Structure formats: C-alpha cells, structure tokens
Structure 1
Amino acid sequence: MPELPEVETVRRTLEVLTVGKEIKHVSVFWPKMIKRPNEVEQFNDALKGQTIKEVGRRGKFLILYTEYFALVSHLRMEGKYGVFNTDEPVDKHTHVIFHFTDGTELRYKDVRKFGTMHLYEKGKEFETQPLADLGPEPFFRRFFSGMAV
C-alpha cells in the first residue's frame, strides 16, 4: 500500500504531467471503482471537456481538480497512474483511462481492483466520505503550531 510520502510523490508527478490537459472522454473498464456518481456514464459525461487545473492530496487521497469538479482517488493496495501515448498498448490491469485531447492518456492500473474514485462538485469534496472525517494533515503548518520542530 502506498504510504503518505509515496502518494505525495504521485501527486507531484501527476501535477507536472496532467495540469492543463483537457479530457476528451473517460473509458471505465471496471465500473466498481467509480463510487460516485452511481452511474459510469454520469462520471464520463461530467468530465468530458474538463481541463485538469490542479492536483491535490488529502491524506492518502489524490484530488484532481478541474474547472467544476474534484476527482477524489484512492490508490489502495496497488493502484498506479501513468501517462501514455494512445498508440501504446493497454494492459489487462488498466481499469480507467482519461483520454486527453492532446493524444495522451492518464491510465489507472490496479492489479487487485481495490482503488476508488469519487467525483464531487468542486468545493464539496470535504463534506462527505471519504474525506470528511480525516484527521489533521501532517504537512499543514497548523499541525506544527505549538510544537518544537
């Protein structure tokens, strides 16, 4: 399972590789990964035409922000993201592909299929599970306030 430092490394890498890219459409090959909304078609329709503006992290959750949405993703045990050209073969463990208008793809691979994705209206991602009940973020300054560091 990726620990917090690894998830932060993934966040930083995705930020470099995906910010500014427009999503043409999304292919979901394992619908159980999409926890919100309930229908995969709604997930795809909402993200079509959206541009990734920022990649955030809260705990071990990655948050991909577009103009109107926050995509909350948990890698779980073995989840991995990678950016590929469309002509590169898709392996059997790729379960979600974000097709970009520039001819590249963000692929989510997960051998054990434990990863999850939740899509929220931007600004509402912290109101419900899975982010609502997380403890203090260790990289926030206020976590260290009053501590001798």
Structure 2
Amino acid sequence: MTSILILNGPNLNLLGTRQPEVYGHVTLSDIEALCRAHGTSRGADVTFMQSNSEGILIDAIHDAKGVHDGIVLNAGAYTHTSIALMDAISSVELPVVELHLSNIHAREDFRHVSYIARVALGVICGFGAAGYPLAMDALLAHLAQQ
C-alpha cells in the first residue's frame, strides 16, 4: 500500500479560527478526516502531522525516507523562508507536492517566493481544504508512473 505523509507547518493548528476570511472555517481536524477518507478511497495509507517548529518538520521529512512513498507539504510561512526545509526535501529524495490553502500569488509579495517549489513536483494553491485531495491525487499519479 502506498504511504503518504501529509505534513503541515506553523499556525495551521489554528485553522477554523485564524483569519477565516483567508483560510475559511475548516479546521485542521476536518482536513485530516478528509485526507484519511480520500487516502482510503485511493488505497493509500495516510500519516498526518502538524508542527509549529521548523526543526520538527525537518525531522519528519528525514524520518519519511524509507517509510513513506511521498509527502504533501503545507509548510505555511516556512515556504517563504526556509532553505533548511528545501534542503531536507532534496536530501531525502522523496516526491513532494507543495500545498497552500490560499492563493499565495494573489497575496503579499513576500508570499510569491517559495523555496519549497524549487524541489517540489508541483504546487497546488488557492483551493482551500479541497487542495489536499488534489495534492494527494497528483502525488499518487506521479508514484504510479514510477
């Protein structure tokens, strides 16, 4: 069975209450349930994790090698700042799909820069919680071609 790590970065634990005009009212628990159900429907095992700590996210990426077949990563604000996350992704040589709830290209200029995109298969943004199953499908399609 294909194994996917869905990794969420800083402040995503506040979904549902944090800036609902940008991120909506869906909670991270709602998204986890959506991802688990979608994984089951696609025959994929899903591990779901969130951390506000860059180091813990890096450790999770390192630990994914040999355990998971790929990663869906919503790195939150670390997308725009973390060369360390980019290097971790490059180091483990696992396919990664970058994901954002909001359309980062329609927001502040600093959000237009993504270090993760440089090493990701692709980027899905702007579709809210619906982006998670899209990212999972993109990752699964990629894995099926290998």
* Both proteins in one fold, TM over 0.5: no
The structure that is helix-richer by fraction is 2
The structure that is strand-richer by fraction is 1
Instruction: Report the structure number with the largest CA radius of gyration.
Output: 1
**TM-score, scaled to structure 2:** 0.26
**TM-score, scaled to structure 1:** 0.26
